[in-house]
Amino acid sequence: MHEMSLAESIRGIVEETAQAQGCTRVKTVVLEIGELSSVEVEALRFCLDAVLRDTLAEGAAIEVDSVPGVGWCLACDRSVPLAQRYDPCPHCGSYQVRPTDGTMMRVKEIEVD
């Protein structure tokens, strides 16, 4: 499960940021997760609950902003919505669609005390 390593990376970012700001507690962590990122959000939440114990972020609210998948169809030369990787272009049916957005995950915001 790669969500555990993602959770540990998020913990590192959150702790480093909070300590650099001299904060005593993290209240909220906002994540941006693309629909094409292959991240299971509920599994990530479970892993975050485990790795944030005994840290400045223990008990912090975890908010997730979903980023829709978008691709570029090489056949019809246009940007198209993508629900999943390797879906065909909804306009021409071609499978030559390169994902251009919705593939990433990032820590968007950290609310602290």
pLDDT of residue 113: 84
Res. 1: pLDDT tops 80:
no
Average pLDDT over residues 20-28: 93
Give the residues across from 34 on adjacent strands.
67
C-beta of residue 46 within 8 angstroms of C-beta of residue 63: no
Domain that holds residue 7: 3-112
CATH of the domain at 11: 3.30.2320.80
Amino acid at 100: T
CB 51 within 8 A of CB 11: yes
Q: How many domains does one find in the chain?
A: 1
28-70 pLDDT, tens digit per residue, is 999 999 999 999 999 999 999 999 999 999 999 999 999 999 9
